[in-house]
Amino acid sequence: MKRILYILILGFTLASCDDFLTEEPAHSQTLDNAVTNYDGAKNVINGMYATLTLGSGTSGSDFFGGGLSCALSTQAGVSRAGGTNYYSMSYNSTTNALGTFWQQWYACVNSANAAIIAISALDEGKFPEAKEKSRMIAEARCFRAWVNAHLLWCFGHFRTDDEYGILYKEELSDMINVFRNRLNVKDSYQKIFDDLDAAIKDLGNYTTSKRLSRQLAQALKVKLLLNRGWEGDYANALTLLNETIAGLPADFKMDPDMKKMYDDAWDSKEVLWARYLEDGSGRAYAEFAYTQTIIQTGDLLVVGQEPSSLKSFYPEFNSWLENDPRYDVTMGWARRLNATGQQYFCPTKVARGGRANMNDKFTTYYFRYPELLLMQAELRARTGATITEALAPINTLRDNRTNPVLPKIPEPATREELMDIIFKEYCLELFVENGSEWFASLRFEKAGKPWFYTLKPDLAEVSSEKYCWPIPSVETSVNNQIKPNPGFDN
């Protein structure tokens, strides 16, 4: 047990509040002795953030990085980088990546639980002020909510009021409490909303994308309601979103220069939360899916020849991207991670230069400002606003860019055309960043079917049970109480 806690409750030096990835613990710590003062509380929060990259181990990888974004983008029919299993939705309980996501995401949950338990037990007198204790607990609860939201979105029936929710944990994992069943979907949402409501109440305002904020908690709750879509959800989500936008701190705003925003990565004031990788050797390796997989999915450079197609993407989205003003900002040449120097034409907005600069600001954009406006447009459209009112946030997004210049979209004649416009804007603005195009491809329909069928015209009809992933065999083989997802091999 002490060895497990050593891994999950990492003790870091406090030279900088951002040093939560590369600092090694000075000695093994247990929950009983790791958090005895305010410095210990900061350490356990730093260790929590570190699990986004470290998971349950000690070396950087891709547990909440580009691998997830590429997989979900491929399910939508946008990116090729996720592979055929995600395109055809033919994954099963032994698909390796799913087991990795499951295990490492629960390591993230465990680290949040460690922070909540340890900081809750610490006397208020140990903190500079009483509200700092509640703020830090809220930070850990927001982190737990964010991870649980992804567990529900990827491994649960997040749109259906049934029994296939999350495997919920609020204590540290041990050999006894590993055996349990999952919550139903309704109760899963309630647990996540409880954490987010505490974060909205007690977390501070946004100052940096490297840390969670009240605004991230608000945006995540809006996104959960939007993706769920039960009775009253759209109206409630729009109310919360309007309140969030009205109260945004001045520091959080769109950058008129999109290229500069991507160059700045986690330092951009347009980015609400991002995966932060500290200085060290080879940041590129810690974002492998963005710096190797997605690069090599692109077109290999042939001297004197422009790429004839965008091999990174499927045909329908190709045509959208090639005709979009953002093309020259989001696409470019990047060098693969081997020593040959081969270059590929690919989404440099996330792959950056690849091996050309191994310690560049490779990041995953968990949430950027434009997504607020995209959700506002969609929620207005779904709650009875006029076409003019629903289109306005899309044009606000476009008005706020000067590099590239994005022309206003003319008002469409029908609501069907309006919904197509909003869906395409999700894909063009956010592709391979945070999986939003996948969830949008479920919410939006074309010809009476989810949009992903239009993006993947060769795809045979798939059951809605395949919209989520199977519970991995790494869980079902040891936890005989958990109910597997229907329609899969376990």
Helices marked H in 156-266: 185-202, 214-228, 233-246, 258-264
Per-residue confidence band for 176, with pLDDT thresholds at 50, 70 and 90: low
Q: What is the mean pLDDT of residues 291-315?
A: 82
pLDDT tens-digit map of 429-454: 999 999 999 999 999 999 999 999 99
Predicted confidence (pLDDT) at residue 81 exceeds the cutoff of 90: yes
Does the residue 208 lie in any domain?
A: yes
Question: pLDDT tens digits for 120-173?
Answer: 999 999 999 989 999 999 999 999 999 999 999 999 999 999 999 999 999 998
- The answer to whether residue 294 sits within a structural domain is no
DSSP 16: -
Tokens representing residue 464 in the block: 């809605």
Residue 51 lies in a domain: yes
User: What's the pLDDT score for residue 281?
Assistant: 66
Q: Are 447 and 455 spatial neighbours (Cβ–Cβ below 8 Å)?
A: no
Q: What percent of the chain has pLDDT over 70?
A: 90
Structural domain includes residue 486 = no
Q: Is the pLDDT of residue 480 over 70?
A: yes
Tell me the per-residue pLDDT of 189-204, one tens digit each, with 9 for 90 and over.
999 999 999 999 999 9
299-300 β-sheet, strand order: 299-300, 343-346, 332-335
The pLDDT confidence band at residue 56, using thresholds 50, 70 and 90, is low
CA distances from 193 to 113, 131, 189, 219, 221 (A): 16, 21, 6, 12, 7
Please tell me the distance from the alpha carbon of residue 111 to that of residue 144, in angstroms, as a whole number: 9
- If you average pLDDT over residues 276-287, what whole number do you get? 82
pLDDT at 54: 77
Whether residue 457 lies inside any domain: the answer is no
The pLDDT > 90 percentage for the chain reads 79
Is residue 300 in some structural domain? no
Q: Is residue 280 part of a domain?
A: no
- H/E element holding 106? helix 96-121
Mean of the per-residue pLDDT values of the chain: 90
Q: What is the domain extent for residue 164?
A: 2-253+468-476
- Overall average pLDDT of the 210-231 stretch: 98
Instruction: Name the token pair of 304.
Output: 């004197």
Which tops the pLDDT comparison, 111 or 304?
Answer: 111
Does pLDDT of 478 surpass 70?
yes
Instruction: Identify the pLDDT of residue 362.
Output: 93
124 within a domain of the structure (yes/no): yes
Tokens matching residue 284: 């590129």
Q: What angle do CA 391, 397, 403 make, to 5 degrees?
A: 140
What is the number of domains present in the chain? 1
CATH number at residue 209: 1.25.40.390
Q: What's the mean pLDDT in 241-251?
A: 97
Q: At what angle do helices 38-54 and 130-155 cross, to 10 degrees?
A: 20
21-25, 51-55, 305-309, 370-374, range with the lowest pLDDT: 21-25
Closest listed residue to residue 20, CA positions, set 30, 35, 9, 34: 9
pLDDT for 57 equals 63
- Which has the closest alpha carbon to 479: 469, 490, 488, 489? 490
**Measured CA distances, 16 to 43, 235, 277, 278, 282 (Å):** 11, 42, 14, 11, 21
Between 33 and 40, the more confident residue is 40
The whole-number pLDDT of residue 19 equals 57
* Mean pLDDT calculated for residue range 237-253: 97
User: Of the ranges 72-81, 338-347, 478-487, which one carries the lowest mean pLDDT score?
Assistant: 338-347
DSSP letter for each residue of 430-474: HTTTSSHHHHHHHHSEETTEETHHHHSTTPPP--GGGGSPPPPHH
